[in-house]
């Protein structure tokens, strides 16, 4: 699933397609190994999903080393597996799956503080509610920024702790999963309803804007027509006034001449 789709005029929310696009896969699979960047390079964002992340080269290298399914061999790889599972579920599924085990594992290993520290901006607190369904993602920017920051922090954490790359792993992050507040299909249904309402409102807003723009254009045409008529009338009155003044001036001159000749008093 892609959470949003751009149209020519606005960003529309794409509902989940229950009939054609809901696929049940084993939690043991690691689907995050797939890469699904925007097909148009010119439209790609500056993130790992679109192959333009801050540590993109290291991200790609570590992603290639992940197993196709099951737990990772080293602690570093399991940390990365958890982080990329969150990242993939956000971009591909709009956070409709229970990924709380992944976020809890990142907190347990020290990658993400669970309190609002000086530099973390409470990334854990932002992401966690979406992993269990207490919040539904329909285009919110807080989770967008938090997800990207989470993956960058994960890679920087692994760079700072190279020994984790040779430390054998004995934990499956799924074991730290919390209970859903809303299961996947409930989240999809709620998200679809919200998306449809938001899209309908967006379409209505576009139509209102088009209607206002059309009315403004029509008013401009009418105003221009009235102005043209008024200008012509003004010019006509000006010519009439000038002619009248000229006639009055001529009449006065003739009266003076006749007076001098004694033809009028």
Mean pLDDT of successive 10-residue segments in the chain (265 residues)?
Answer: 41 52 62 87 93 95 92 96 95 91 96 68 90 86 93 97 97 95 84 76 72 73 72 74 60 60 57
Residue count (the chain): 265
Percent of the chain that is helix, strand, coil (3-state, to 5): 60, 5, 35
Which pTM does this prediction carry? 0.67
| Long-range contacts at 80-86 (CB < 8 A, ≥ 24 apart) | 80/154, 80/155, 80/158, 81/30, 81/32, 81/173, 82/106, 82/173, 83/111, 83/150, 83/151, 83/154, 84/32, 84/151, 85/30, 85/32, 85/173, 86/127, 86/131, 86/147, 86/150, 86/151
Query: Can you tell me the distance from the alpha carbon of 217 to that of 105, in angstroms, rounded to the nearest whole number?
Result: 59
SS3 29: strand
Q: What is the predicted pLDDT for the residue at 257?
A: 60
SS3 8: coil
Q: What is the predicted pLDDT for the residue at 50?
A: 93
């Amino acid at each position: 699933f892609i959470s949003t789709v751009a149209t020519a005029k606005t960003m529309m929310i794409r509902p989940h397609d229950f009939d054609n696009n809901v696929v049940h896969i084993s939690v043991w699979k690691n689907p995050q190994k797939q890469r699904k960047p925007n097909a148009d390079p010119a439209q790609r964002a500056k993130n790992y999903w679109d192959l333009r992340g801050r540590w993109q080269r290291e991200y790609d290298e570590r992603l290639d080393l992940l197993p196709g399914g099951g737990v990772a061999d080293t602690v570093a790889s399991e940390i990365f597996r958890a982080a990329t599972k969150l990242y993939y579920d956000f971009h591909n599924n709009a956070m409709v799956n229970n990924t709380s085990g992944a976020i809890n594992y990142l907190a347990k290993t020290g990658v993400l503080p669970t309190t609002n520290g000086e530099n973390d901006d409470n990334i854990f607190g932002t992401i966690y509610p979406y992993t269990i369904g207490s919040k539904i993602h329909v285009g919110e920017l807080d989770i967008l920024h938090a997800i990207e920051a989470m993956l960058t922090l994960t890679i920087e954490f692994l760079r700072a702790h190279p020994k984790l790359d040779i430390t054998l792993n004995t934990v499956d992050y799924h074991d730290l999963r919390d209970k859903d507040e809303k299961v996947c299909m409930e989240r999809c249904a709620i998200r679809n309803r919200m998306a449809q309402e938001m899209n309908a409102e967006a379409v209505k807003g576009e139509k209102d804007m088009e209607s206002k723009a059309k009315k403004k254009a029509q008013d401009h045409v009418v105003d221009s027509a009235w102005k043209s008529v008024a200008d012509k009338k003004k010019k006509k009155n000006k010519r009439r006034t000038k002619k009248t003044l000229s006639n009055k001036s001529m009449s006065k001159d003739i009266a003076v001449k006749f007076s001098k000749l004694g033809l009028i008093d």
